[in-house]
Structure 1
């Protein structure tokens, strides 16, 4: 799971605030996802007949993922615009090559440790839930409000870490809450390539 750092991404924080202001007046979106529950799902880990990872499996998974993810470069996602569905509001993503690379590196490791049934669901295209529907109302009207009042409708999010979490549904609050079990820090962003013919240094 990617948990956005709002302090390090002020443009993204402003986008979320604008979307919440629009949703506040809509009957189906009375309780948007709070800051601490904002996330982008990377790979849900499913266990047929079980609802969580046992401690020994978690230790093996962390041990296997650590050397793999430490070599995945940090990346940026373009978040937005907000899209309205019958089950809630999500922010779309673009420029998601980095996200796809992260997912492609994580999925085989998870399958090797937890079994192929653990990665049946593929989370692409990446998305971020802003609100789960808790009532009834016109989705067309809400989409129109986003289009006219959330400007710009997108923002950049820097992703430098990914978390292994345990998630529980909170039905009466129309959201999912997560407990971080382990944080994986990604590699530094790859440096820009120096153009051919550019001066790279000087010598006496």
Structure 2
């Protein structure tokens, strides 16, 4: 593992800027998952990793890449929330399993599966962003998604960390997907921390 670098699309996160994202957030109803993440991070306490605090655990559905958050007006944000709400009205809540844990090139992640509904949700969110802001706003490289539980501060042995992670039991826990959040995200590259201001919550299925 090498130190984590925060990205804006395929470039470095601009220093001092915040960026709008659409996130899935881990909530109190995901207690088994919160306990599992705590166990995994505790098992790796001697590694140069910065755990993601429970309140900031998230899955990135998309990043709005055309402009920093400060350059996106309230009217533009309201329009995006409106289109997201309409787009997700018929999207039913679902559940994914989180795990097993995997050492990544710059931290520790958990696999998400099955991921058909998750990928469909991403496409719906991206379609809403594109409809409001155009192709330049959807340059975030979205692939197989994961839940990041810690970021590397320094170089460390991925193999050693993985051997420890394999002993963490149970190896899986559910994540309940009932809503998405439009958030204004701050990345602290020194502290290896992601935090955000909640701008809007959009329920799935028009709840």
Aligned 1:128-143 pairs, distance under 5 A = 128-143=147-162
Query: Which of 8, 26, 29 is residue 8 of structure 1 equivalent to?
Result: 29
Give the structure 2 partner of residue 154 of structure 1.
172
1:25 alignment partner, one of 29, 42, 46: 46
Partner of 1:99: 118
Rg (Cα) greater in structure? 1
Partners of 2:65 and 2:136 within 8 A in 1: yes
TM normalised by structure 2 equals: 0.84
Question: What secondary structure is seen at the aligned counterpart in 2 of 1:13?
Answer: helix
Contact persistence 2:64–2:138 (CA under 8 A): yes
Unaligned runs of at least 5 residues, structure 1: 190-204
Deviation at 1:94, TM superposition (A): 0.9
More strand by share: 2
Q: Please identify runs of 4+ aligned residues in structure 1 that moved more than 6 A.
A: none
C-alpha deviation, 1:188, in angstroms: 8.0
Deviation at 1:137, TM superposition (A): 1.9
1:116 counterpart residue number: 135
Gaps of 5+ in 2: 1-22
How many residue pairs match? The answer is 183
Root-mean-square deviation over aligned CA pairs = 1.6
Select the structure with the greater relative contact order (CA < 8 A; seq sep ≥ 6): 2
1:180 is aligned to 2:201? no
